[in-house]
A and B are shown apart, each in its own frame.
Chain A
Amino acid sequence: MKMTGARILLECLKLEGVDTVFGYPGGTVINIYDELFSFKDIRHILPRHEQAGVHAADGFARATGRVGVAIATSGPGATNTVTGIATAYMDSIPLVVITGQVPTALIGNDAFQEVDIIGITRPCTKHNFLVKDVKDIATIIKKAFFIARTGRPGPVLVDLPKDVQIATAEFHYPDSIELRSYKPTVEGHPKQIEKAVSMLLAAKKPVIYVGGGAISGDAAGELSALATKLHIPVTTTLMGLGAFPEDNPLSLNLLGMHGTYFANMAVTNCDLLVAVGARFDDRVTGKIATFAPHAKIIHMDVDPTSIRKNVRVDLPIVGQVKDVLGRMLKTVEECGDKIAAFHAGIEPWLVEIDGWKKKHPMSYKQTATVIKPQFVIQKLRELSESDAIVATDVGQHQMWTAQFFGFREPRTLLSSGGLGTMGYGLPAAMGAQAAFPNRQVIAVCGDGGFQMNLQEMATLVQNRLPVKIVILNNNFLGMVRQWQELFFDKRYSQTCMELPIDFIKLAEAFGAKGFQATRPDEVEATIKKAFETPGPVIMEFKIAREEKVLPMVPAGASLNEMVLNA
């Protein structure tokens, strides 16, 4: 049957299993919206800004593991998606973003709302496509989803000129796709895996360092099994939080700039570092020259470019981490009594780590008068449901959430790690809530970042997405203020948000509810009330304004040069 390009697009999405898209109409996608009007199989959510639409698709993808889909019109609609796309790219999140484009005959003419979005997004997409012929739509959409979700996942943009949407063609969706230039599924080399196990069993001070690849690669089960079988301590990056239960005694929690004392000490002193789906980001390594100076490094990753990009690696293993860890576990299980010897061998190391844990546990002092942000985060954990999903914005509140929430399951923390995009939290929570209407979804925001996408309150209310929004209000761009306090002589240049905002009235203006806590003894009641209230709710906590995120490794310093209390 012949159908329009716009209709073909929707049929393709349906066949890809897409049930929710986040999009914003405009002149060059009006034909897609016309088809959507009567297309019942896809739920369309209208954000109030295309950036938020892409973040929502990203939150949807992170929470579900499926490909998130967003639509925007050409020109300004397309440029508004760029921050969202770059955010997803840096964190390897699978998205398909569809943009309208001016008719093919006008491309290059500076037509109304024309922008070269293919050129603009080339460095921040895994791949992008300009569709020039209606007959190519189906194959290109098939390729787009295949590329987005396989290998190291990432965003793919498809630019669809208006005339291509209007033209008609026979619809045929390919069952599978082969790209001679893209072979994403690689199995870890058996020899390398064998070597990895023998290096592991020879180690006396091993640490496993886990990144977001363990979550996107669905490897949390294998990771936990291997670590607990061998009693190897595990530290995670921000992106890796949830891959290993933080309440497990082997967990060292977060490492890096705002990581725990014991994680950073363990990495600095280990004799073997096993990196799992992590990319040795500078926020994690601190000064490269002194990173894990005594360690042999095993690095497993689906993406060969991650390996040896920043640090020397003794044993690279390119492959799906799930498969690699699974096969390592199997090999280990065949090692019999070597395991007991290994356990005995690393015992002093575990004792040493325990000493560090006791010496400097994560801590803060809650006073009777002022709310400490860490206290709010701990109360959130206590009072929220065990499968709650937490999205954060970017700043101090993000780090406090990472430090104090205690993540236990993969895909329960949604946070912009690589790009560090303020304004991410609220729309990402929105996307997750759209995916899981019955789960508790919490957005933890700063007062600054919340204001970068607060228009999405309208989307939440309209679509009955009951996100519980926590604003840790220090009336500061707190993270920058912290740097100014520590490294710029307290010259708080443009980080004080002079204007106090009435977030309660703001919530009400959108038809949502808002509660405020100003004293520590109000924290628990406020959270409970918010959780009991149906629909979206803002909880505003007036927190200690100059509280700092600690420990802190100053940028460029070694991991063991932490500022513990300043």
Chain B
Amino acid sequence: MRHTITVMVENEFGVLSRVAGLFSGRGFNIDSLSVAPTNDETISRMTIVTRGDDQILEQISKQLNKLIDVIKVIDFTDGEAIEREMALIKVTAEESARAEILRIADIFRAKIIDVTTKSFTIEATGAPAKIDAILELLRPLGLKELVRTGPVAIGRGAKAWKG
């Protein structure tokens, strides 16, 4: 099953390789990983999307917690978290397709952030499934380049994790 895990870590040199090394060394999958400092600049927050059965996920959480630089691990199972991802998408935009591309972008509330006579670059934001959906529509029109951030996640409701 797909899991989104948030990991609060000391904002220190080498922490990312400790986390990445843990996943590769123990044969855990990483589908995506994003990391940046939080409001407290001594803490960085990672969002990792991974998959595995319950036993593997339990190990992943425990092993992450065991790293000395890891302050907190939160496993957001489906529904508890809001996830958002951004994609920058470069599509071929010949005369005949331009209107269609604009319509699709509009439906998904995506922005055109760069235009040439032959291409559009689109910025799309949303839940990962929404990004998947816009990509599916754009692909037949000529998708030239794609970059996705991987999701970031935050818990629902008033409760907050410091940092």
Contact = CB atoms under 8 A, between A and B. Distances in A.
Given A122-B18, A123-B21, A308 B55 contact: yes
A190 interface: no
A181 B25 contact: no
Given A305-B62, A305-B63, A126 B68 contact: yes
B85 interface: no
A304 B17 contact: no
B79 interface: no
A147 B62 CA distance: 17
Main secondary structure of the interface of B (DSSP, over half): helix
B58 A308 contact: yes
A179 interface: yes
Contacts of B14: 118, 122, 130
B59 interface: yes
B66 interface: yes
Given A122-B17, A123-B25, A304 B71 contact: no
B161 interface: no
Interface in B60-80: 62-63, 65-66, 68-71
Q: Give the interface centre of A130, A180, A181, A308 by most chain B CB atoms within 10 Å.
A: A181
B83 interface: no
A119 interface: yes
B66 A181 contact: no
A355 B141 CA distance: 78
A181 B62 contact: no
Given A122-B18, A123-B25, A309-B59, A304 B65 contact: yes
A304 B65 CA distance: 9
Interface string A138-169: 00000000010000000000000000000000
Nearest to B63: A305
Interface in B32-78: 55, 58-59, 62-63, 65-66, 68-71
A132 to B, nearest CB: 8
Contacts of A309: 59
Interface of B: 9-10, 13-14, 17-18, 21, 25, 55, 58-59, 62-63, 65-66, 68-71
28 contacts: A118-B14, A119-B17, A122-B17, A122-B18, A122-B21, A123-B21, A123-B25, A126-B68, A127-B68, A130-B13, A130-B14, A147-B68, A180-B71, A181-B9, A181-B10, A181-B68, A181-B69, A181-B70, A303-B66, A304-B62, A304-B65, A304-B66, A305-B62, A305-B63, A305-B66, A307-B62, A308-B58, A309-B59
Given A118-B14, A130-B14, A181-B9, 11 more contacts: A119-B17, A123-B21, A127-B68, A130-B13, A179-B68, A181-B10, A304-B65, A304-B66, A305-B62, A305-B66, A309-B59
